[in-house]
Amino acid sequence: MEEASAQQQSSAFPAPPFYFQRYTTENLALLQRAKSEKEQSDSASPDLAKSLSKLPFPVLALEPPPPVQSGKYWQFGRPFDTQETLATLEQQGCQQLYPKGPIDRVKELKKLNHSAIFNFLELVHTLTTTPGEHYKRVDEIRMIFINMHHILNEYRPHQARETLRLMMQNQLQTKKQETEALKRTCADLRSKLSALRALKEQRQRSLATINSSTVAPGDSDVEMTSSPDHQTQDSKASLVGASSSGYPGAENHIDANSRRTMDRLMTMVDSIE
Amino acid sequence: MDRLTQLQDAIDKLALLFVSSLDHLSKNAPLVALNPDVPVVTTEHGMPKEILQASAQELALDISRQAKELETLIENLPPITQTPEEQTLDLELLAQENDRATEEYEAAVLEAKKLLQEVTQALREIAMDQSNT
């Protein structure tokens, strides 16, 4: 059965692996019971143990296998490594022209560059003298180019990690900036809100004092009682943006303040949204 | 563009120049008598000698220019300053910092939302006041 499945894995439409036959409803129910039994107590009940032993495979094999941590794994019939490493030149079957171990990449690349040109010159010479022997030079040039490309390929993992690091630094910076901006706007808004609340209490207190103070009869009465209305009207008028009607002294000052507060409040709310 | 890719392209271009120059020379060369008894008869093959020599000069110039370009590119390669282990360590530290910054950011967003609610509440009160009088 294993061999048949190995053959099928390389065909274009492979059949599903034979494991699918194990997933019957009864087996799945058994799996659930086994799992719950394991959580409650270590020993399984006798009838469960009997039905478990009837299965040709351990019941926990119905769970998906854990991911492969190390080494090789096979996918669709081909091997994959868990660690992607660049194959060295010897593994690829090419001679390594630059010395082994840590090297000065720039110097080695320059040397290879010069030897490439030199070998081309020698190639042209051999073509003029003994064209039959050109293949030696051609191979040499090929080797040089392969070496150059290999040195460059060794840079790539380093470059990938560097790019990742830079991206993460950028993300960090943006997040910090955004947090700062948010905190500043919140602090501003809070101060404005407290100013508004103070204003409201002031108004309520002045309302209370006006209502409780002894009033002169007649027009002054009307005047007095209408002033708190005017005050509230003015603060609402400033909210809408209209100018207040001419009013003496302190009330004007309070209303101008409240108008400014309201305007700034509206802009803050817009910026948050 | 990416420096490594530029380098790789330059190397490939050099190889292409090698091939194309040899190709050009061998295809367009005029006929030459191998044996003095067998003279050259046709003159309709390839290009005359002078033009060919001029083009050979041009090709040599191209190849040397490309080699010089390659050398400049090699010199501009950034050095490898950190080993892979150091790099992975840096990445882990950065990841932790990133997580912390995200938490702070989300906390700030929550606070801003609460504040927004309070402010809309205050505005609603003012509007109600206004409509009442």
Best interface-test mutation with A: which of B62, B70, B89, B124 has the largest number of A CBs within 10 A?
B70
- Distance of alpha carbon B80 from alpha carbon A104, whole angstroms: 10
- The predicted pLDDT at position A258 comes to 59
Contact in structure between A10 and A78 (CB atoms under 8 Å)? no
For B95-109, the pLDDT digits (tens) are 999 999 999 999 999
Other beta carbons within 10 angstroms of residue A120's beta carbon come to: 23
Contact A148 B91 (CB under 8 A): no
Terminal-to-terminal C-alpha distance of chain B: 68
- The predicted pLDDT at position A133 comes to 83
Taking 50 as the pLDDT cut, the residues of chain A under it are 1-3, 216-254
- The predicted pLDDT at position B26 comes to 84
Distances (CA, A) of A215 to A60, A225, B26, B31: 91, 9, 119, 129
Domain extents for chain B? 1-78, 82-133
For residue A98, tell me if it sits in a domain: no
Other beta carbons within 10 angstroms of residue A96's beta carbon come to: 14
Contacts of B97 (CB under 8 A, 6+ apart): A172
For residue A140, tell me if it sits in a domain: yes
Tell me if chain A has a CB within 8 Å of the CB of B4: yes
Best interface-test mutation with A: which of B61, B115, B131 has the largest number of A CBs within 10 A?
B115
Tell me if chain B has a CB within 8 Å of the CB of A263: no
- Distance of alpha carbon A121 from alpha carbon B18, whole angstroms: 10
Contact A189 B119 (CB under 8 A): yes
**Helix (H), strand (E), coil (C) string for A213-228:** CCCCCCHHHHHHHHHH
Amino acid making up residue A258: S
- Distance of alpha carbon B90 from alpha carbon A269, whole angstroms: 40
For B29-59, the pLDDT digits (tens) are 777 777 878 777 776 677 778 888 899 999 9
Terminal-to-terminal C-alpha distance of chain A: 64
- The predicted pLDDT at position A184 comes to 92
Contact in structure between A89 and A146 (CB atoms under 8 Å)? yes
- Same domain for A255 and A179: yes
For residue A177, tell me if it sits in a domain: yes
- The predicted pLDDT at position A228 comes to 42
- Same domain for A148 and A188: no
Tell me if chain B has a CB within 8 Å of the CB of A167: no
- Same domain for A73 and A144: no
Pairing of strands A72-75, A78-81: antiparallel
- The predicted pLDDT at position B32 comes to 76
- Distance of alpha carbon A118 from alpha carbon B82, whole angstroms: 34
- Same domain for A72 and A8: yes
- Within 8 A of B133 by CB-CB distance, chain A residues are 229, 232-233, 236
- Within 8 A of A179 by CB-CB distance, chain B residues are 101, 104-105, 108
For residue A248, tell me if it sits in a domain: yes
Tokens of B51: 């033009």
Distance of CA A181 to the CA centre of its chain: 21
- Within 8 A of B127 by CB-CB distance, chain A residues are 239
Other beta carbons within 10 angstroms of residue A138's beta carbon come to: 14
Q: What domain range includes position A25?
A: 2-81
When CB atoms are compared, the residue of A164, A172, A229 closest to B97 is A172
Q: Where are the alpha helices (DSSP H) in chain A?
A: 2-9, 25-40, 46-54, 89-92, 105-129, 134-212, 219-240, 249-272
- Same domain for A76 and A111: no
Biggest CA pair distance of chain B:
125
Distance (Å) from the alpha carbon of A106 to chain B's nearest alpha carbon: 6
Distances (CA, A) of B97 to A174, A175, A253, B91, B100: 13, 11, 49, 10, 5
- Checking A159-167 for CB contacts under 8 A at 24+ apart, the result is A159/B4, A161/B84, A161/B87, A161/B88, A161/B91, A162/B87, A164/B91, A165/B87, A165/B90, A165/B91, A165/B94
- Within 8 A of A265 by CB-CB distance, chain B residues are 119, 122-123
Q: Between residues 50 and 109 of chain B, which touch chain A (CB distance below 8 Å)?
A: 63-64, 67, 70-71, 74-75, 77, 79-80, 82, 84, 87-88, 90-91, 94-95, 97-98, 101-102, 104-105, 108-109
For residue A253, tell me if it sits in a domain: yes
- Same domain for A247 and A174: yes
- The predicted pLDDT at position A13 comes to 82
Contact A236 B67 (CB under 8 A): no
Best interface-test mutation with A: which of B3, B104, B132 has the largest number of A CBs within 10 A?
B104
- The predicted pLDDT at position A83 comes to 73
Best interface-test mutation with A: which of B6, B82, B87 has the largest number of A CBs within 10 A?
B87
- CB contacts < 8 A, A to B, total 128
pTM of the model as a whole:
0.61
Return mean pLDDT, chain B.
Answer: 87
Distances (CA, A) of A87 to A83, A93, A98, A101, A154: 12, 10, 16, 15, 10
Contact A109 B123 (CB under 8 A): no
Percent of chain B with pLDDT over 70: 98
- Distance of alpha carbon B41 from alpha carbon B43, whole angstroms: 7
Tokens of A266: 């509206």
For A160-182, the pLDDT digits (tens) are 888 999 999 999 999 999 999 99
For residue A218, tell me if it sits in a domain: no
The angle, 0 to 180 degrees and rounded to 10, between the axes of the packed helices A249-272 and A219-240 is 20
